[in-house]
Structure 1
Amino acid sequence: MKKLESYLAPQNLLKDRVILITGAGQGLGRAAAIAYANHGATVILHGRKVEKLERVYDEIEAVGKAQALIYPLNLENAQDKDFVVIAQAIEQQLGRLDGILHNAAFLYGLSPAENQTVEQWRTLLHVNLIVPFALTKACLPLLKAAPDASVIMTSSSHGHNPSAYWGGFTVAKAGIEALVKVQADEWEIVPNLRINAIVPGVVNSPQRAKTHPGEIKQTMRQPEDLMATYLYLMGSDSKGVSGEIVFCQGNE
């Protein structure tokens, strides 16, 4: 698929839609939450730290957009019952769900695979692969009931082209791309439901700062620079697009 930086989203692209964003307290998740709210959506802000989610909530409220909801949860320990509770809460409070952006990620840091522990791999695979699968599954009845539902997974250039020192994280992200293909095939008979993955590439984010601390942030793309892609894949203009791995900046 071609890159989508030039896409201009209609102002009412996401009007009346309810969208859940994981990892919404900072970086790309925060930018996406604000962009979705600015285009009409009611957003559900997930993250670990309530204070970060409250800041995003306040940013959305300050510009007069639909009041956001906050749902804090530590994904490292989350299990099936936690995701069922999220889905039930969304149904009870909002009555619908039109999209999920799986943006939350976890990374210890770069190191040779031989230095990584089994417990670290369990956590990396759980947060970065199992949680997106399990949360989508729990919310699937709501998504299937929506007129036009979109699920966006987040991959990584190192998941698409695995390389040294990324260990369990890159394996999990490679798994995300496989999951997108599997789900797109299975959902082919559900015309109102689609799933794709975004590879953000090099962007000024907390995760990037963790793995590349010496970079000059001011010279990098900012999360807001990528939002055309995030809006396109969440909105109705991408109907019929499913199973795609979409790059925001080449194949880095």
Structure 2
Amino acid sequence: MITNTFQLENINNNYSAHQDLLKNRVILVTGAGQGLGRAAAVAYAKHGATVILHGRKVEKLEGVFDEIEAIGRASAIILTFDLAEITDESAAAVADAIASQFGRLDGILHNAAWTYGAMPLAQHKLEQWQTLMQVNLLAPVTLTRACLPLLLDAPDASVIMTSETHGHFPKAYWGGFAVAKAGVETLVKIQSEEWELYPNLRINTLIPGPVNSPQRAKTHPGSDNRKLSHPVDLMRTYLFLMGPDSTKISGETFVCQEITTTDAQESSYQKKKV
């Protein structure tokens, strides 16, 4: 199992989020079109938040938007842009748009991720390295920095960075994706210390573990994922970290479920000389 992480047993077994946990809050969820991002966006909306749905494909986001609107107690907007192409200027434009429409931002769930699948480091081209770093590490950094003035103005702001099993248990063939996710965990530790003077602002790492999701289907083609947890099964942790019950917790790594070294080693890539 992963060690030196915040223990989640009590959260997974006992935590119950109040219905109005996120009432009047505005939360940005990246990669909200499917999987964990979609489940989190809906969960936040069910608990009162206005959710900004980010993704690349508007048709996926429209389905999430309709689901949130049907809840009847929250609202959502759709925000489409490609994290692989984000710049300081485009991130600032996103922050300006949020400020103009809502006047506030209370949290960001950095859920969006990208991987080319398992392959040896020797096969990683420079362009692939750049995309993996850009989407999985640099884009969250850039977007958070652009939104920092809004987050600082919030009475209780939370930033959640999503790592991954292989960022914590680095194994062969996970290459640039694992390196980027390991960088996320280091980033959170550093950023948390730099934000110590701001008690209203916190940042934590979340590792979902193996989940039956489109991302899992991409990295483990042909695997039987039916026995894995579903995204909705992990939402207690997502709610806890985004809501006020985690106010005094920052710089921690949260693991949603037990992860073994076997989970970390699983790969669809067959070893061969390169």
TM score, norm. by length of structure 1: 0.98
Pairing partner for 2:12 from 5, 18, 38: 5
The match for 1:76 is 84
The match for 2:31 is 23
The match for 1:60 is 68
Give the AA of the match of 1:42: T
Pairing partner for 2:48 from 25, 36, 40: 40
Aligned: 1:145 with 2:153: yes
Aligned: 1:236 with 2:244: yes
Hey, what's the Cα distance between the residues in 2 that align with 1:160 and 1:220?
19
Q: How many residue pairs align between the two structures? A: 252
Give the AA of the match of 1:249: Q
Q: Please, what is the CA RMSD of the aligned residues?
A: 0.8
How much has 1:216 moved relative to structure 2?
2.3
The question of whether the paired residues in 1 share the 8 Å contact of 2:152 and 2:201 is answered with yes
How much has 1:215 moved relative to structure 2?
2.4
**Aligned pairs (5 A) from 1:109-148:** 109-148=117-156
Pairing partner for 1:206 from 203, 207, 214: 214
TM score, norm. by length of structure 2: 0.91
Q: Which moved more, 1:215-224 or 1:69-78?
A: 215-224
The question of whether the paired residues in 1 share the 8 Å contact of 2:204 and 2:252 is answered with yes
The match for 2:198 is 190
Deviations 1:102-151 (A, max 9, x none): 00000011101001101100000000000000000000000000000000
How much has 1:226 moved relative to structure 2?
0.4
Pairing partner for 1:179 from 169, 187, 207: 187
Aligned: 1:248 with 2:256: yes
How much has 1:213 moved relative to structure 2?
1.7
How much has 1:251 moved relative to structure 2?
3.6
Deviations 1:5-43 (A, max 9, x none): 121111110000000000000000000000000000000
The question of whether the paired residues in 1 share the 8 Å contact of 2:49 and 2:75 is answered with no
